[in-house]
Amino acid sequence: MDLTAIAAFTAAGLSAVNVVFSYRLTSRGHLEQWRREQERPIIARILIGSSDAYTAWRDVAMAKQRWAENPGEPPADAAEVRARYDAAVELWKTLRFEVAQLDLLAGAEVRKVADDLVSEHERVRYRLNPNGPGVTLFRTGEEDKFVELHNQLVEQARRDLGLPTRGWQTPALRPY
């Protein structure tokens, strides 16, 4: 057998292996870039949705408080509480959808904080249910819990995306 032919077949084989290996690396790189590009806007929508839902829960609490203070006009007050509660639940459902999307893309730490944030909203949802007991006011430190979860979500997302976290100041993500 001719050594030139053996060398040619060997070079062709190595070239094919190189093409396959390069393709896999490029494919993984594109997949990772796509994941990062998808994760960032989802995180932003979660933060905005959580702030909007928090504001809606606060509106429900205030309407429920007015209803409790004015028992002489229950039909109008009850309808207002129900309408505000239904609007807040819709925001909560949207937040759950965004977190579900994040479950398909993000790392475990980001998913955990996002789930904790949804759970915190769910606790408020059950507590402010118009058909439930008369608890209406937000508890001391409740807003701080939401702010803490927002900040944790940003920090974990920065880690997950490979962005620097050292020396980075978390902005005030106060739900309003």
Query: Which pLDDT score is estimated for 145?
Result: 87
35-50 pLDDT, tens digit per residue, is: 777 888 888 899 999 9
| Distance of alpha carbon 13 from the chain centroid | 47
Tens digits of per-residue pLDDT, 86-119?
999 999 999 999 999 888 788 889 899 999 999 9
- Please state the pTM of the whole predicted model: 0.72
User: Which of the two residues, 84 and 136, has the higher pLDDT score?
Assistant: 84
Q: pLDDT band at 167, cuts 50/70/90?
A: low
Q: How far apart are CA 151 and CA 170, in angstroms?
A: 6
Q: Annotate 138-154 with b (16+ C-beta within 10 A) or e (fewer).
A: beeebeeebbbbbbbbb
| Torsion sign (Cα): 21, 22, 26, 29 | positive
pLDDT for 125: 87
Domain boundaries, the chain: 38-160
In which band, very low, low, confident or very high, does the pLDDT at 124 lie, cut at 50, 70 and 90?
confident
Q: Check: CB of residue 126 under 8 Å from CB of residue 132.
A: yes
What confidence score (pLDDT) does residue 52 get?
A: 92
Buried b (16+ CB within 10 A) or exposed e, 67-79: beeeeeeeeebee
pLDDT tens figures, 56-66 = 988 888 887 77
